[in-house]
Structure 1
Amino acid sequence: MQESEKIKLGISIGDLNGIGCEVVLKTFEDARMLDFCTPIIFASNKVISFQKNELGLDINYNGIQEVSKALDGKINVLNVWKDAPEITFGEATAQGGEYALKSLVAAVDALKKDEIDVLVTAPINKNNIQTKDFNFPGHTDYLAKELEGESLMFMVTDSLKVGLLTDHVAVKDAPAAITSKLVKSKIKTIENSLKMDFGIRKPRIALLGINPHSGDNGVIGKEDDEVLKPVIKELMDAGHLVYGPYSADSFFGSDAYKNFDAILAAYHDQGLIPFKTLSFGKGVNYTAGLRKVRTSPDHGTAYEIAGKGKADHSSFKEAVFTALQIFKNREEYRELTSNPLKKQKLKPTR
């Protein structure tokens, strides 16, 4: 990408019956957003026209047939399909999943080909999008396959970053899935992301316990003693700043999280409940560990308010800014690491 060019920001439109289109269009209804990037929405003119009219949004867009035809200073809509799918706000339909997948596949293909620089995904319905080509519990696993990386679901704000050892895994299956190998892999991914994507030279990472009170020395489960503690000691001995396991019930309420650059939670709700409580509407779901940048808002399809013009686009807007900043941070990191004299510019840890 030439320095004078704006970052090409691809957007997969998500479930057409949810709030995805609404939060996307509301974000770019503010023309100042076009100063930061060139947005390319993977959908169709007919869908965007219908959505903007139904929602009463005052926007103009540039319909294109190829990504290369996208114009700076415009909201670009790449016509992935020509037909006009039926949009029934608030309903989980097979057709809603079908077109969400068409948009996602086209956007990821463009990302892989470097036709776009970053990807921001609007919310999908994890049930109706399932096909033989998409047999995944969500975006994260699909992107890990397509982009061949060790992915990490990483929920981020400026002041709080929470990664997950296990993400869309049933609670009953989570303890067995947490192995020494998995913990080391996720720690490596989160460390690399903090350095490369967020400019933190020596990150401090906290690991939350698997069981209540981190097992109370084996009284409430042995996984913390047998899996987490040995790995933490091994990593500490090797010079990594990894601490824990901490009892999850008091970790956030006591503000202990403020002493760390990131927290690694054992399972989905252990990490996302406190994250969303502290930062809902400002948080971003970032897929760390991939060779490309992908973010999304911290909410779902919100069928209950779809089509009513009530959706808050704050999180989607944050997802856009986060994707752009990470892309810039990665470029700077590559420059710094290729020039040893500039390495000291990386931010020190707290």
Structure 2
Amino acid sequence: MIKKAENIIVGISIGDLNGIGSEVLLKTFEDSRMLELCTPVIFANVKTLSFVKKSYELTAILHGIDRLDQIVLGKINVLNVWQEGVEINYGINDEKIGKYAIRSFVAATKALREGNIDVLVTAPINKFNIQSEDFKFPGHTDYLDQELEGNALMLMVQENLRVGLLTDHIPLNEVASHLTEELIIKKIETVKQTIIQDFSINKPKIAVLGLNPHCGDGGVIGKEDDAILKPTLKKLFEKGTLVFGPFAADGFFGSNQYDKYDAVIAVYHDQGLIPFKTLSFGKGVNYTAGLNKIRTSPDHGTAYDIAGKGIADFNSFKEAVYLAIDVYNSRNQYAEISQRPLKTKEK
């Protein structure tokens, strides 16, 4: 059964309160028309967010709740994950603030896993100050991969440009050693299924970038493209996956070849994210593909340098909300179609 728009519950983890996350999320819902598309639930504390709202001279009305069964549709709900006061110092890297970011995120993930919210949008965290004995993950994605079913994959999205990664938050000098046939097949199959069920494209065309400059130039600048990437892509193509490459990354983006494909897979983080962020003009979204639940986030970080100044652009966060809703609807429609019995011709 497809939910009405306003009945879609969008959970939001607060991120680093000293960064711009709380500003961009409150600015997003300052427009009351957003409440016609979904009902937000912010995992934080209503007094803390009221302070943030006042500091940015915003006017949206916040509805504090203590339990998820108290959610009011069409309101900006704030679930009180903590009760005590929090000292906010915009632009400061603070370990205490990092602990509140994780309390919010863990509570929101639990709600997502248990079906109390429909989708999750995460505000930016500081990967350094969130580390503790209880949370030893490099970021959101690795924790979600542990807590939710599936194989998490970072997919950057802006309209028809979708860039996934074979490897994400690992040092550059370890990328080549991580490339295996098993990893490449798993990631490409994840992207393929994501494009089908979450973006409603039945036969996606997928491009894969090469590891080395010029894809190794026949082995002169590295052998990984010829030895690992090419034969693995050939094997997948022969089994029916429309995968192409490897392509030299510089020419691929420079000549607009990405327009011909439904998804592009980069081998490592910066190879994919630098051109993506250049092309997305501040409206890009980070989507965690491959999970049984839906999570999106803006494509920027805490931006301490502009936090508290009221000048943060909220478009990427707003697009993250839009994408979460679109994927939720697309995934439900896919499930509904998949369950329909096949029609047989009458004799």
The interval holding the TM-score normalised by the smaller chain is over 0.9
Q: Does residue 181 of the first structure (1) align with residue 212 of the second (2)? A: no
Number of aligned positions between the proteins: 342
Corresponding position of 2:49: 48
Over the matched positions of the two proteins, sequence identity in percent amounts to 59
Corresponding position of 1:198: 199
For 1:103 and 1:3, the matched residues in 2 are separated by: 26
Tell me, yes or no, if the aligned pair for 2:19 and 2:90 is still in contact at 8 Å. yes
Displacement of 1:161 in angstroms is: 0.2
Tell me, yes or no, if the aligned pair for 2:153 and 2:187 is still in contact at 8 Å. yes
Corresponding position of 1:207: 208
Q: In the TM superposition, what whole-angstrom CA distance separates every residue of 1:87-118 from its partner, at most 9, and x where no partner exists?
A: 11001110111000000011001011100000
Q: In the TM superposition, what whole-angstrom CA distance separates every residue of 1:156-203 from its partner, at most 9, and x where no partner exists?
A: 121200000001111111111111110000001000000000001011
Displacement of 1:2 in angstroms is: 6.8
Corresponding position of 1:297: 298
What does 1:92-107 correspond to in 2, within 5 Å? Answer: 92-107=93-108
For 2:342 and 2:32, the matched residues in 1 are separated by: 39
For 2:264 and 2:2, the matched residues in 1 are separated by: 36
Displacement of 1:133 in angstroms is: 2.5
What does 1:193-342 correspond to in 2, within 5 Å? Answer: 193-340=194-341
Q: Does residue 139 of the first structure (1) align with residue 161 of the second (2)? A: no
Structure 2 length-normalised TM:
0.97
Displacement of 1:135 in angstroms is: 1.3
For 1:320 and 1:68, the matched residues in 2 are separated by: 22
Corresponding position of 1:36: 37
Q: Write out the 4+ residue segments of structure 1 that deviate beyond 6 Å after TM superposition.
A: none
Displacement of 1:148 in angstroms is: 3.0
Corresponding position of 1:346: none
Displacement of 1:132 in angstroms is: 2.2
For 2:306 and 2:216, the matched residues in 1 are separated by: 41
SS at match of 2:194: helix
For 1:133 and 1:222, the matched residues in 2 are separated by: 41
Q: 1:2 to 1:183 in 2, by over 3 A?
A: closer
Corresponding position of 1:150: 151
Structure 1 unmatched ranges of 5 or more: 343-350
Displacement of 1:6 in angstroms is: 1.0
Corresponding position of 1:86: 87
Tell me, yes or no, if the aligned pair for 1:280 and 1:298 is still in contact at 8 Å. no
Displacement of 1:59 in angstroms is: 1.3
Tell me, yes or no, if the aligned pair for 2:2 and 2:329 is still in contact at 8 Å. no
Displacement of 1:134 in angstroms is: 1.9
Structure 1 length-normalised TM:
0.96
For 1:111 and 1:240, the matched residues in 2 are separated by: 31
Q: 1:148 to 1:131 in 2, by over 3 A?
A: farther
Question: Aligned-residue CA RMSD in angstroms?
Answer: 1.1
Tell me, yes or no, if the aligned pair for 1:208 and 1:247 is still in contact at 8 Å. yes
- Say which is worse superposed, 116-125 or 3-12, in terms of deviation: 3-12
